[in-house]
Amino acid sequence: MAGRETLEELVRLQGERVRGLKQQKASTEQIEEEVAKLLKLKAQLGPDEGKHKFVLKTPKGTRDYSPRQMAVREKVFDVIIGCFKRHGAEVIDTPVFELKETLTGKYGEDSKLIYDLKDQGGELLSLRYDLTVPFARYLAMNKLTNIKRYHIAKVYRRDNPAMTRGRYREFYQCDFDIAGQFDPMIPDAECLKIMCEILSSLQIGDFLVKVNDRRILDGLFAICGVPDTKFRTICSSVDKLDKMSWEEVKNEMVGEKGLAPEVADRIGDYVQQHGGVSLVEQLLQDPKLSQNKQALEGLGDLKLLFEYLTLFGVADKISFDLSLARGLDYYTGVIYEAVLLQPPAQAGEEPLGVGSVAAGGRYDGLVGMFDPKGRKVPCVGLSIGVERIFSIVEQRLEAELLYKKNPKLLNQLQYCEEAGIPLVAIIGEQELKDGVVKLRSVTSREEVDVRREDLVEEIKRRTSQPSCTC
């Protein structure tokens, strides 16, 4: 038998020959003949007990957490759980997989992203896609009609991952939901209040919460001439307006989904509008939209919602955005999505949304889909996109120290402004002599000398959050 190194070289050369023939689109007979030679050479080579044939890596779209990353994760979870509990929520848990039929037909076009498992013990199972459908199944199964709950757990989606932007195939969701019959818009307003509280507490940058209503969208599609059978698929296209231009979305509607161009243009006149309660009032006077019962109900509820949001002190963070569609099939009323804002490139420009970090909405019909008698339990909830938040916090921690022998003070102050750090402690030769620390407010640029023994208390005083009156 030839030496192992010689055989390995022959296998390599023969493999290149086979690949070359395939690229040249050689005849099947010729390729098969050369493949047979390659297999014969590999058989002579035999197994190599000394080599590992597997690659050490996590599966695509998943990650390990280092101790440093776990510390970030726990800090973020503490903020979120603290807010959920403050608002009176109880915690539940459900299995990581469900019967396949439980998840089927609940997610519209996104259903293709569900991970199906092989038949085990006569049951067809799927990994949970979110925490909302399992919650609805839990309510129906236990005949519950009233609960305020939170649930933090991993979910699974067979999606194209984008790890740097916090988009994975296995990831955590942090859900808060209110189930039960209550006066209109009060639970919905509380969910939006909670979303704003959490994002403000995490200090990850400016954000905006976009709000819309599925009834307004359905009414809008009806008056524009969209066939009933195309409502959901057109809704999915509209939802892409945060990532694509109107022309690209229109081309998808017309070219791929068969919508008439004039119908798409009518939709475009509406879905490119956004604003506050004044836009709601303007659309209530719209001669066509106001004649649609569904749209009128949705607009009336949104007007009431803005009244509660004003009382909660978060209306300035909310934008009524007609392009928000949320593709999931189970939403029936108000829908919302929080995006982080990128500062405007030029003065006078509007800030740009750079990614969703929370979302949710009302789903009054989902529990009834599981109840044998079809009994409905009204529900509304939100989900915090913690993986994206983890990524943002981790990136900021990477820049906590400037590894320079003599860093310039201006560079350090500029970093503090960008990172949202409120206070800077400056110690120079004079401060050392005087036994003080110069404390600088990053936003106002005001500087005060503080005695070293008083520094901790002064920082606590300046950074303490006002107590919550929820």
Q: State the alpha helices, DSSP H only, in 46-162.
A: 67-86, 100-103, 132-141
Give the 3-state secondary structure of residue 434: helix
Partnered with residue 381 across adjacent β-strands are 177, 361
Q: Report, in angstroms and rounded to the nearest whole number, the Rg of the chain calculated over CA atoms.
A: 28
Which residue shows structure tokens 């949710």? 360
DSSP-derived letter for residue 36 is H
Is 132 annotated among the ligand-binding residues? yes
Nearest residue to 238 (alpha-carbon basis) of 224, 228, 253? 253
Is 78 annotated among the ligand-binding residues? no
Which residue shows structure tokens 């004649």? 291
Give the 3-state secondary structure of residue 278: helix
Is 157 annotated among the ligand-binding residues? yes
pLDDT in tens, the chain (470 residues): 457 788 888 888 888 888 888 888 888 888 888 898 888 888 887 766 555 566 788 888 898 988 888 988 999 999 999 999 999 999 999 999 999 999 988 887 778 899 999 877 889 999 999 999 999 999 999 999 999 999 999 999 998 877 666 678 999 999 999 999 999 999 999 999 999 999 999 988 899 999 999 999 999 999 999 998 888 888 888 988 888 899 999 999 999 999 999 999 999 999 999 999 999 999 999 999 999 999 999 999 999 999 999 999 999 999 999 999 876 678 999 999 999 987 655 555 555 555 789 999 999 999 999 998 889 999 999 999 898 898 888 777 667 555 566 777 887 887 777 667 888 888 888 888 889 999 998 888 889 999 989 988 888 888 764 444 33
Cβ-contact 7, 41 below 8 angstroms: yes
Is 308 annotated among the ligand-binding residues? no
Check residue 382 and give its pLDDT: 97
Strand order in the sheet with 90-91: 90-91, 147-156, 170-179, 379-384, 352-362, 334-342, 207-213, 318-321, 274-275
Cβ-contact 38, 15 below 8 angstroms: yes
Nearest residue to 115 (alpha-carbon basis) of 133, 137, 130? 130
Is 62 annotated among the ligand-binding residues? no
Q: In angstroms, what CA-CA distances link 212 with 181, 251, 257?
A: 21, 23, 23
Check residue 466 and give its pLDDT: 45
Cβ-contact 114, 129 below 8 angstroms: yes
> Terminal CA-to-CA distance of the chain, rounded, Å?
81
CA distance 390 to 164: 11
Check residue 53 and give its pLDDT: 61
Nearest residue to 185 (alpha-carbon basis) of 147, 151, 146, 211? 211
Is 165 annotated among the ligand-binding residues? no
User: Cβ atoms within 10 A of the Cβ of 156, count?
Assistant: 21
CA distance 135 to 151: 9
Check residue 335 and give its pLDDT: 96
CA distance 379 to 107: 17
Check residue 347 and give its pLDDT: 52
Is 173 annotated among the ligand-binding residues? yes
Q: What is the pLDDT of residues 372-387, one digit of tens each?
A: 888 999 999 999 989 8
Check residue 1 and give its pLDDT: 46
Q: What is the pLDDT of residues 428-465, one digit of tens each?
A: 888 888 899 999 988 888 899 999 899 888 888 887 64
